[in-house]
With several copies, the nearest count.
Chain A
Amino acid sequence: MALKTYIEAIRDALIEEMDRAPNMLVLGEDIQEGGVFRATDGMLERFGPQRVLDTPLAESSIVGVSIGMATNGCLPVAELQFADFAYPAFNQLISEAARWRYRSYNGWGCPMVVRIPYGAGIRGAMYHSQSIEAMLAHVPGLKVVMPSTPYDAKGMLKAAIRDPDPVIYLEHKRAYRMLKEELPDGDYTVPIGPARLRREGDDITVISYGLMAHECLQAAEELAAEGIDATVLDLRTLAPLDRDAIVAAARRTGKALIVHEDNLTGGFGGEIAAIIAEHAFDDLDAPVRRLATPDVPAMPFNGALEDFLLPSREKIADAMRDLAAY
């Protein structure tokens, strides 16, 4: 066991998998110097510039060439520097990677991972703060994972790299150095798909993913002290979605709160609420609630405004109290 931050967990997974698979490579902007968040620190020295590849400043082709590499026997793990800069690559992700296998009737596969740092709370302003999971999790053919702990970060990245299909791996920038955990030495994977019950309680259910799952857990601990006992479900994977776990968790308490950092309308919380409203209907004791960033076009640079808009442990706790009292 060793204490690892979230970003160390990611780096360890990359390095261990590169050691395992000589056809794997990492690519992206500024990857060779370690990446702007230092996820690939030290990898150039270890694996050389062909497998630790600095790409031109061109996101569409970063994903596009990765698809080609995957098609010709490589295992590319691309990094898009910020989620906010993923839109230029949307066509490659959606029209190409996601439909590669389906449209060729299994003739071709696209084993590829695209790592994308997302999320706010670091004073990154409008274009270094966004959440983009709702759009991508809507696309059949893409797998979308959003680990919320260093343990899951490492295990799910390894699972993603070994997956035969394209996986979007969303990592929260604020988690990188904030989250630390003792990790087992050596190889392990965490499967793509299953949600994780991070806390069990009978009063209310909170469902979240990514860094917000961490905030929800903190809020739940806070409320436990007040006698409100919450179930916290961490989805971890948005696509394919663990519908059974959602329905079971909602049924257990009859009261569900969904939390995400992405803005509310059309966010992935809608899908979760819809599943509950359809499949846990008979057990519901309260309206299905959502807590999310209000519908404004991305985070202001001003710190006070960012804090005002962003869901936080405090706001989650308030929403939980409110729902518990329903």
Chain B
Amino acid sequence: MTTTDTRLESGTSDLYLSMYRDMVRSRVLSDRMFALNRQGRAAFAVTGQGHEAAQVGSAYALTAGADWVLPYYRDVGVLVALGMKPYDILLGLFAKAGDPTSGGRQMPCHWSWPEMRVVTRSSVIAANLPHAAGIAYASKLLGRGEVTIVYFGEGATSEGDFHEAVNFAAIHQLPVVFFCENNGYAISESQEKQMAILHVADRARGYGIEGQTVDGNDALTVLQTTRWVIEECRRGLGPKLIEAKTYRYAPHTSSDDDRRYRTRAELEEWTRKDPIDRLRNRLLADGVLTPDADGAIRAAAQREIDEAVEAAERAPDPPDDDAFRYVFAEDA
């Protein structure tokens, strides 16, 4: 496991502050989505509390709008980092007409965002890994310099589609990053029920590509590793597998009761490694952040989400006939 001793280079403090802010916004938004479900105001919630360093750290390594992004349902932090407004994410939560990601059709957090090259995904685990490989093949064929990143959990690596996608990407040395957020559980199943290896990154060896395990709760390490890997991809050195070890603090989804399969002690232990606390402490120690500035960031995030919730909840539902649109292209 790589834990880089990242010294803050001059000129990077704004960047790190921005990352920190997005991690906080992502956490506040995620907490709120869960709460809205618990209050009976949202039918379903799936969120990524605990994954913020992995998500925001990796997303900050991307060239937004140029690189292709295939997030999974837990990637609130990726979307926030890419610049999706909480309001838009909340329109999806409430399945409203204006939901730019699916028009209220998909479960929350199944994003599509063409402007940012965020590609639509289903709920079918691992099915989008071959899409990432295909997108990267097209980039190469058409001679474009962009890189594709696809996100998934460690459970997803059990699916045949994981294998076929990584194998295809390796054969053609495609510019694609397979980014695994390993939180140790697939719903209730702990990692050893999914694989007989300690590190998801070891899967890479069967394909002849490099795998790299990083501390997924350390945003700066994630950023640096992902940057390096993307750089290698861009230089045509082929696909890579990154495993970011982390933990989810919330139940799998609003339908799950994680007390059936995780001890509170384990959760407690990981809470002490909270990725947001960790980056905050680092920034405070380095003098990039002050307690006051931190308070302002948190208050602003709360305010932003409050306003977004209020507006999104009031947005109109789609009209009935909307259900028939876009089965096929309408101009065809």
A residues apposed to B, CB below 8 Å: 23, 25, 29-30, 32-34, 36, 50-51, 54-61, 63-74, 76, 84-85, 87-88, 91-92, 95-96, 99-109, 123-128, 140-141, 143, 163-165, 240, 294-297, 300-305, 308-309
Decide: A57 near B156, CB < 8 A? Known: A64-B161, A65-B133, A125-B107. yes
Assess whether B137 is in contact with A305, with CB atoms less than 8 Å apart.
no
Kindly state whether residue B135 has any CB partner on chain A within 8 Å: yes
Assess whether B164 is in contact with A103, with CB atoms less than 8 Å apart.
no
- Separation in Å of the B280 CB from the closest CB of chain A? 34
Q: Which residues of B contact A140 (CB under 8 A)?
A: 327
Assess whether A102 is in contact with B107, with CB atoms less than 8 Å apart.
no
- Separation in Å of the A145 CB from the closest CB of chain B? 14
Assess whether A96 is in contact with B327, with CB atoms less than 8 Å apart.
no
Kindly state whether residue B130 has any CB partner on chain A within 8 Å: yes
- Give the complex CA separation of A305 and B318 in angstroms: 8
Assess whether B188 is in contact with A30, with CB atoms less than 8 Å apart.
yes
- Separation in Å of the B142 CB from the closest CB of chain A? 6
Kindly state whether residue B323 has any CB partner on chain A within 8 Å: yes
Assess whether B323 is in contact with A68, with CB atoms less than 8 Å apart.
no
> Can you list 18 A-B contacts (CB < 8 A)?
A36-B256, A57-B159, A57-B189, A61-B164, A65-B165, A67-B134, A84-B124, A88-B161, A96-B122, A103-B110, A125-B106, A164-B332, A294-B324, A296-B323, A300-B103, A301-B107, A303-B43, A305-B323
- Separation in Å of the B282 CB from the closest CB of chain A? 35
Q: Which residues of B contact A143 (CB under 8 A)?
A: 328
Q: Which residues of A contact B158 (CB under 8 A)?
A: 56-58
Assess whether B130 is in contact with A60, with CB atoms less than 8 Å apart.
yes
Kindly state whether residue B18 has any CB partner on chain A within 8 Å: no
B residues apposed to A, CB below 8 Å: 43-44, 68, 95-96, 99-108, 110, 112-114, 119-120, 122-139, 141-142, 155-156, 158-161, 164-165, 167-168, 171, 186-189, 193-195, 255-256, 260-261, 317-318, 320, 322-332
Assess whether A103 is in contact with B102, with CB atoms less than 8 Å apart.
yes
Assess whether A296 is in contact with B125, with CB atoms less than 8 Å apart.
no
Q: Which residues of A contact B332 (CB under 8 A)?
A: 163-165
- Give the complex CA separation of A38 and B68 in angstroms: 35
Decide: A88 near B159, CB < 8 A? Known: A64-B164, A106-B330. yes
Assess whether B95 is in contact with A64, with CB atoms less than 8 Å apart.
no
- Give the complex CA separation of A129 and B89 in angstroms: 22
Decide: A126 near B193, CB < 8 A? Known: A58-B158, A68-B135, A73-B138. no
